[in-house]
Each structure stands twice: as structure tokens, then as C-alpha cells.
């Protein structure tokens, strides 16, 4: 495993006990590379999730099972070549965290979906199918998180690759927030929006969702991980404001996934 992760992550700011730290991370199904160079990164990702030290971790491209990959990486029961014996969301959860997971896509040898890990109690888990065409299966994972006695509604998203589909999915997301979540409750929407052409902020603003940013910095690049230039991974919020935001960088983080994680610290509006 890659040991430098804990020391290579600089916190977004001096940790404030009353700030809600939210991380979002597309983990690329826990593997990298193609063909004979494909390697298993799920064990290193476990270290990475712990290093983020987040109250809430929103994950995309998470596998509950994949028979082909399990066979490929079952060279040993231990070490970096071992496929985990538990679903990825549970495997990645630091000790004491609660886990919510729902499948988005069924594939030939398995499935994958969105997950939420939290060090706070979870409410009822909801899943909303927002698939827009037969070539992409997409969903929204909705979980209330009871943070310091406040119910924060968290929606984990992974939107489509086609621009028109993303717009329709964002419209359905806005409708969910406006019509199905409690009107006065704080809301966090986080995930991989695939919004390379920056079309979705206005749609989500209709649901009073604003992107977590600081000052005049409108975009925080997370993709591709080796040389990030696109702001695909985002946190949107309602009833909260952003205190700090950061993306961990370096060769260690770049090898784990094609995305870098995004970490934001939020506080309740007063």
C-alpha cells in the first residue's frame, strides 16, 4: 500500500469542530489501467478515504461485486493483489462510519453505484433513477445525515456523459430538492457532475443550490487526476456556506483514480 497518503494530505484549513467536512470522490471502481497493466487500487483508496478525515464522504463508481475482477485479483487472500471480501463501500468506510449504498448500473459481470460514508447517524436511504437513455444507467442516492442534531439531506450524484442528458438529470435533481426534501432543511449535493461545459449551475440555482467556492474562485479542477483542468467533481449546498475547499494533489493521489477528491468545509447559515 501507499503509506505517504496520511502525511501528503493537507487539510482544507485548521479543522474547526463545528464545520461539516464533506468529501466527494469518483474512485473508478477501485482499479486503474488496462489489459495486463491493470492494477487494484482499492486498498490504497481505503487509506485515502481515511486521510480525508471527512464527516461525510460521497463516492461514485463504487462496486458491490464484480465477478470478473474478483477472479482476476484473487491471486492471494492478503495484500495488494487481494480482492476485498466485502463490498467496496463497506471496505472503504473508516472504523465507526455508517454506510449507505445503492446500485446505479448493472453490467455483464457485476454492478456499480453511489455510496455515502458518514461518521454521523443516517436516516432512511432513498434512490432515484435518473437514467436518460439505454446506454447509461444513472441514479441519485439520497440520505439524511443527523449532524450535531441537525438533519442535513445529502444527495450523491454521478451525471451522464451526454450534455443534453446531464441537463435533464440536473432538472430532475432540482425537482427532487425543491419538491421532495423538507423546505427548511440544509442540503448538500455532491458528486461527479461530468459538467465539462459548465451548464448546470443555473439549473441547480433554481433549487437554491449554490456551488461551494471561495471568493472569486469559481472552479476547482479535479479531472484528470494527473493534470487536473476540469471541475467535474463538485459540492452544491442549500442553507450552508463554504468555509474552505481544497483538492489534494501529487503523484500518490494521481495514481489512485482518474479523478482527484474534492474536500469542502461547510457551516450552517445563521
Of the candidates 228, 124, 256, the residue with the CA atom closest to the CA atom of residue 180: 124
Q: What one-character DSSP code corresponds to residue 108?
A: S
Cis peptide before 60 (omega within 30 of 0): no
Q: Can you give the pTM of this predicted structure?
A: 0.93
Return d(Cα 233, Cα 191) in angstroms, integer: 6
Measured from the Cβ of residue 68, the count of other Cβ atoms closer than 10 Å reads: 11
Which tens digit of pLDDT belongs to each residue from 189-237?
999 999 999 999 999 999 999 999 987 776 899 999 999 999 999 999 9
Residue 3 is predicted with a pLDDT of 46
HSE-up (13 A, CA, CB side) for residue 122: 22
Per-residue pLDDT in tens (0 to 9) along the chain, 270 residues? 454 454 444 444 455 668 999 999 999 999 998 888 889 999 999 999 999 999 999 999 999 999 988 888 876 656 666 889 899 999 999 999 999 999 999 999 999 999 999 999 999 999 999 999 888 899 999 999 999 999 999 999 999 999 999 999 999 999 999 999 999 999 999 999 999 999 999 999 999 999 999 877 768 999 999 999 999 999 999 999 999 999 999 999 999 999 999 999 999 998
Amino acid at each position: 500500500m501507499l503509506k505517504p497518503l496520511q502525511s501528503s494530505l493537507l487539510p482544507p484549513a485548521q479543522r474547526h469542530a463545528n464545520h461539516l467536512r464533506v468529501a466527494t470522490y469518483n474512485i473508478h471502481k477501485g482499479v486503474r489501467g488496462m489489459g495486463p497493466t491493470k492494477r487494484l487500487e482499492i486498498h490504497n483508496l481505503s487509506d485515502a478515504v481515511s486521510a480525508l478525515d471527512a464527516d461525510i464522504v460521497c463516492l461514485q463508481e463504487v462496486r458491490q461485486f464484480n465477478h470478473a475482477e474478483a477472479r482476476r485479483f484473487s491471486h492471494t487472500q492478503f495484500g495488494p493483489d487481494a480482492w476485498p471480501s466485502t463490498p467496496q463501500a463497506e471496505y472503504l468506510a473508516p472504523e465507526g462510519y455508517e454506510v449507505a449504498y445503492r446500485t446505479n448500473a448493472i453490467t455483464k459481470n457485476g454492478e456499480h453505484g453511489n455510496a455515502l460514508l458518514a461518521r454521523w447517524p443516517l436516516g432512511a436511504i432513498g434512490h432515484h433513477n435518473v437514467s436518460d437513455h439505454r446506454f447509461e444507467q444513472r441514479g441519485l442516492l439520497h440520505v439524511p445525515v443527523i449532524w450535531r442534531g441537525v438533519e442535513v439531506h445529502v444527495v450523491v450524484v454521478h451525471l451522464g456523459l451526454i450534455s443534453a442528458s446531464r441537463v435533464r438529470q440536473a432538472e430532475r435533481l432540482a425537482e427532487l430538492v425543491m419538491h421532495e426534501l423538507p423546505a427548511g432543511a440544509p442540503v448538500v449535493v455532491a458528486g461527479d457532475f461530468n459538467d465539462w461545459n459548465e451548464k448546470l449551475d443555473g439549473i441547480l440555482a433554481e433549487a437554491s443550490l449554490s456551488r461551494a467556492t471561495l471568493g472569486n474562485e469559481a472552479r476547482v479542477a479535479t479531472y484528470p487526476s494527473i493534470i487536473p483542468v476540469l471541475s467535474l467533481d463538485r459540492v452544491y449546498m442549500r442553507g450552508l456556506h463554504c468555509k474552505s475547499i481544497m483538492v489534494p494533489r501529487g503523484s500518490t493521489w494521481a495514481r489512485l483514480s482518474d479523478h482527484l477528491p474534492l474536500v469542502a468545509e461547510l457551516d450552517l447559515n445563521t
